[in-house]
């Protein structure tokens, strides 16, 4: 059988990480001047750019909600984001599903009731794809929303975990994802530990679920600390400049 | 018997007694006080568990009744009112503010104006100066020719008159200072950089007029004298630009680029900083002001000038 060994004999994965290791996160808020808030984030080789516009006047009358703001999420994959160059339409069912998951996540977190009859647009662009689309979209959107000064109850941090050869593994990359690894994506509020999104599309033995879930949760908390650090740095930096 | 005066012992009580102007005593615990001094908070972070405090903008009450931040920014305290000020936010109109806006829609007896707020503001037909005298009543004919006054895309300077129930603002231009904008250039900066001042109309010594909108929109135009504005009330809604000579155009472009440099480096924008930036920019040709290193050089000179 020519099956690729996902965890090597030394316990290292194909990208050199250990089982409990996150990919390296590199992020920067306020990268775009036109948007109200924006962020760029890299998780390993997955790269995403987020832009937030609003709260602003709803573009069409149909989108107006009388008691709260309407949130609009659009995700697009750059033609060059995968190994094969291909133009992907925005109405791809798979992408629309992710967009609606992101939208549902943030509808409960953003204090939308403060902005009746307005609209908040979140545009997400995947520049390079190496697995973990939902998690990077949520993390990027969180950073961009904070940068835009939109009131939120808490951060939302997302992380995935899977199970390879009966062993729970944190933060799957594309190679691991595409080898039929059961993948669980969790998005949670790090302060209260409330879960806002839980998604798994394959079968996982119930005995393993607990450990995979715990791994994803600790991953989320780690991501939270990284994002929080960056946001604080950014605020302090701007304050320093303003003085 | 010899007397000895002992120096007062430091109080062991854990409250910091801080009497303000009204004689109110601040009774925060020392630990909580520290929390305010660190100042920078991020969404979800607890600010205080004091049930007495009032929650202002940028905060919310958690399920356990504590006060937490909802935006990333700095904690501001006025007596018991706690609010968090974000560094990037949309403009929140207050009555009397001077704003610059762009018409987005002409509808029944009103215009919709984009003022960088969470909703477009409303400018009622009855809230503008009609040509032919201030005292003139509005007629049906005025309603039919609203596009002659303002049409989509026109820029105007106005004052916030009030708020509607849903949070949108209403504007008015019932003053000769306000009205349609011509003969100049439009600049957008983060709204937090423009602060309230005595006046938001400035005349710079280079023959340039400046209108600083509190919503972060700025209009830089050729200088016009007040008397020429008064002369013909029909001309206030004209769409024709006046003749602007080369020298004046360059001055306008230089002011615009100086403002852009200031906003890029997140410095406050007012007449003083703009003048400093303009003077610093004179070493460079106008088009070089868009270069990052030139912006850096100008803003560092402004910072030095402010000290």
- Determine the residue among B38, B39, B40, B43 to mutate to test chain A binding: the one whose Cβ has the most chain A Cβ atoms within 10 Å: B43
CA distance B215 to chain A (A): 13
Which of the four pLDDT bands, split at 50, 70 and 90, describes residue B32?
low
- What range defines the domain where residue A161 resides? 25-242
Does the pLDDT at position B307 exceed 90?
no
What residues are paired with B210 via a beta bridge? B202, B220
Query: CA-nearest residue of chain A to B116?
Result: A56
Predicted TM-score of the model (pTM): 0.88
CATH assignment at residue B39: 2.40.50.100
* Long-range contacts at B58-64 (CB < 8 A, ≥ 24 apart): B58/A151, B58/B83, B58/B84, B58/B85, B58/B86, B59/B83, B59/B84, B60/A111, B60/A151, B60/A153
Burial level of B108, CB count in 10 A (0-12/13-18/19+)? exposed
Number of Cβ within 10 Å of residue B178's Cβ equals 21
Q: Would you say residue B38 lies in a domain?
A: yes
Residue B138 or residue B201, greater confidence = B201
Task: Report yes or no on A19 lying in a domain.
Answer: no
H/E/C letters for each residue in B197-233? CCCCEEEECCCEEEEECCCCEEEEEECCCHHHHHHCH
Nearest beta carbon to residue A111 from set B70, B104, B166:
B70
- Among B39, B41, B42, the strongest candidate for a mutation testing the A interface, having the largest count of A CBs within 10 A, is B42
The ipTM, to two decimals, is 0.88
> And the tokens for B254?
């230089």
pLDDT of residue B12: 53
3-state secondary structure chain A: CCCCCCECCCCCECCCCCCCCCCCEEEEECCCCCCCEEEEEEECCEEEEEEEEEEEECCCHHHCCCCCCEEEEEEEECCCCCCCCCCCCCCCHHHHHHHHHHHHHHHHHECHHHCCCEEEEEEEEEEECCCCHHHHHHHHHHHHHHHCCCCECCCCEEEEEEEECCEEEECCCHHHHCCCCCEEEEEECCCCCCEEEEEECCCCCHHHHHHHHHHHHHHHHHHHHHHHHHHHHHHHHHHHHHC
CATH number at residue A101: 3.30.230.70
Residue B247 and residue B56: Cα distance in Å, rounded?
Answer: 49
| Domain-embedded: residue A207 | yes
In eight-state DSSP terms, residue B88 is S
Q: Which residues pair with B180 in a beta bridge?
A: B156
Q: What contacts A173, CB < 8 A, 6 or more positions away? A: A13, A14, A15, A23, A44, A45, A46, A130, A131, A132
CA–CA separation, B111 and B152 (whole Å): 9
In a domain, B167, yes or no: no
User: How far apart are the CA of A103 and the nearest CA of chain B, in angstroms?
Assistant: 19
Q: Kindly state the helix (H) or strand (E) to which residue B261 belongs, with its residue range.
A: helix B246-264
Query: Residue B3 has what pLDDT?
Result: 75
Locus of tokens 């360059």: B250
* Torsions phi, psi for A21 (to 5 deg): -100, 140
Strand duo B110-114 + B98-107: pairing: antiparallel
pLDDT 10s digits, A139-179: 999 999 999 999 999 999 999 999 998 899 999 999 999 88
Residue A3 maps to a domain? no
Going through chain B in order, the beta strands assigned E by DSSP cover: 40-41, 46-48, 54-55, 59-61, 67-69, 73-78, 81-86, 98-107, 110-114, 121-124, 155-163, 169-172, 179-180, 184-188, 201-204, 208-212, 217-222
Q: How far apart are the first and last CA of chain A?
A: 65
| Between B134 and B81, the higher pLDDT residue | B81
Instruction: Provide the chain A residues 197-216 that lie in CB contact (below 8 A) with chain B.
Output: none
Could you tell me the residue range of the domain that residue B59 belongs to?
30-86
CA distance B72 to B163: 27
Q: Which residue has the higher pLDDT, B197 or B135?
A: B197
> What is the CB neighbour count within 10 angstroms for residue B12?
5
pLDDT of A1? 41
Question: Between A and B, how many residue pairs show a Cβ–Cβ distance under 8 A?
Answer: 97
Q: What is the DSSP letter of B284?
A: S
Query: How near does any CA of chain B get to the CA of A22, in Å?
Result: 23
Domain assignment of residue A73, yes or no = yes
CB distance A163 to A182 below 8 Å:
yes
| B11 pLDDT more than 60 | no
Instruction: Tell me: pLDDT of B215 over 60.
Output: yes
Give B72-90 pLDDT, tens digit per residue.
999 998 888 999 999 888 9
* pLDDT number for residue A90: 74
* Higher pLDDT among residues A114 and B226, named by residue: A114
B45 in any annotated domain: yes
Does the pLDDT at position B134 exceed 70? no
| Phi, psi (rounded to 5 degrees) for A170 | -95, 145
Range B10-26 average pLDDT: 54
Total domains in chain B come to 1
Residue B168 lies in a domain: no
Q: What is the pLDDT of residue A2?
A: 47
Residue B67 in domain:
yes
B78 found inside a domain: yes
Are A231 and B87 an interchain contact pair (Cβ–Cβ within 8 Å)? no
Q: Which of B164, B165, B218 is nearest to B187 (CA)?
A: B218
Tally of domains in chain A: 1
User: Is residue B72 in a domain?
Assistant: yes
Closest of A137, A118, A135, A116 to residue A126, by C-alpha: A137
From CA B222, how far away is CA B40, in angstroms rounded?
42
> What phi and psi, each to the nearest 5 degrees, are found at residue B50?
-70, 120
Residue A208's pLDDT band, with cuts at 50, 70 and 90, is: very high
The 10 Å CB-count burial string (b at 16+, else e) for A25-62 is: bebebbbbeebbbbbbbbbbebbbbbbbbbbbbbeeee
* Partners of residue B306 in chain A, C-beta under 8 Å: none
The residue with tokens 């039919």 is B144
Nearest-by-Cβ selection for B120 from A30, A57, A150: A57
Helices (H), B3-132: 30-38
pLDDT tens digit sequence for B240-283? 888 889 999 999 999 999 999 999 999 999 999 999 999 999 99
Structure confidence at residue B105 (pLDDT): 93
Does residue B103 belong to any structural domain of this protein? no
Q: Distance of alpha carbon B96 from its chain centroid, rounded?
A: 12
Which whole number is the average pLDDT over A4-20? 87
User: How many Å apart are CA B70 and CA B87, to the nearest integer?
Assistant: 13
Residue B302, min C-alpha distance to chain A (Å): 12
């Amino acid at each position: 059988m020519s099956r690729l060994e996902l965890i090597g004999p030394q316990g290292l994965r194909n990208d050199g990480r250990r089982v409990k290791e996150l990919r390296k996160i590199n992020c920067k808020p306020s990268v775009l001047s036109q948007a109200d808030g924006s962020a760029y984030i890299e998780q390993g080789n997955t790269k995403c750019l987020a832009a937030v516009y609003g709260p602003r006047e709803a573009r069409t009358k149909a989108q107006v909600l009388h008691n709260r703001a309407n949130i609009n999420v659009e995700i697009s994959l750059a033609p060059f984001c995968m190994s094969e160059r291909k133009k992907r339409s925005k109405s791809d069912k798979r992408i629309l599903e992710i967009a609606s998951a992101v939208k549902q996540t943030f509808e409960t977190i953003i204090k939308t009731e403060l902005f009746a009859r307005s609209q908040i647009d979140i545009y997400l662009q995947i520049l390079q794809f190496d697995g973990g689309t939902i998690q990077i979209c949520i993390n990027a959107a969180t950073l961009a929303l904070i940068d835009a000064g939109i009131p939120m109850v808490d951060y939302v941090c997302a992380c995935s975990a899977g199970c390879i050869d009966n062993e729970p593994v944190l933060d799957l990359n594309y190679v691991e994802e595409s080898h039929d690894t059961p993948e669980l994506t969790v998005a949670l509020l790090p302060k209260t530990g409330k879960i806002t999104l839980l998604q798994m599309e394959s079968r996982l033995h119930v005995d393993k679920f607990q450990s995979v879930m715990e791994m994803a949760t600790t991953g989320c908390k780690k991501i939270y600390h990284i994002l929080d650090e960056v946001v604080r740095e950014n605020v302090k930096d701007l304050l320093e400049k303003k003085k | 018997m010899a007397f000895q005066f002992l120096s007062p012992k430091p109080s062991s009580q854990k409250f910091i007694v801080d009497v303000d102007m009204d004689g109110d005593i601040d009774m925060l615990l020392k630990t909580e006080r520290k929390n305010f001094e660190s100042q920078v908070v991020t969404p979800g972070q607890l600010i205080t568990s004091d049930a007495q405090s009032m929650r202002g903008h940028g905060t919310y009450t958690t399920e356990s009744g504590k006060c937490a931040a909802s935006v990333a920014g700095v904690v501001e305290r006025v007596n018991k009112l706690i609010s968090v000020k974000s560094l990037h936010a949309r403009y929140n109109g207050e009555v009397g503010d001077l704003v610059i806006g762009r018409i987005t829609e002409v509808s029944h007896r009103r215009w919709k104006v984009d003022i960088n707020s969470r909703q477009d503001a409303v400018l009622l037909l009855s809230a503008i100066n009609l040509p032919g005298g201030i005292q003139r009543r509005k007629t049906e004919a005025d309603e039919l020719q609203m596009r002659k006054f303002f049409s989509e895309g026109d820029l105007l300077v106005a004052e916030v008159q009030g708020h509607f129930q849903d949070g949108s603002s209403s504007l008015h231009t019932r003053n000769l200072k306000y009205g349609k904008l011509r003969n100049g250039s439009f600049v957008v900066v983060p709204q937090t950089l423009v602060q309230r001042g005595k006046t938001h109309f400035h005349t710079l010594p280079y023959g340039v007029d400046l209108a600083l909108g509190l919503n972060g929109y700025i209009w830089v135009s050729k200088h016009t004298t007040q008397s020429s504005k008064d002369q013909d009330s029909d001309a206030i809604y004209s769409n024709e630009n006046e003749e602007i000579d080369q020298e004046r155009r360059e001055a306008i472009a230089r002011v615009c680029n100086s403002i852009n440099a200031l906003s890029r480096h997140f410095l406050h924008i007012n007449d003083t900083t703009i003048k400093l930036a303009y003077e610093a920019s004179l070493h460079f040709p106008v088009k070089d002001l868009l270069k990052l290193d030139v912006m850096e050089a100008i803003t560092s000179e402004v910072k030095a000038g402010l000290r």
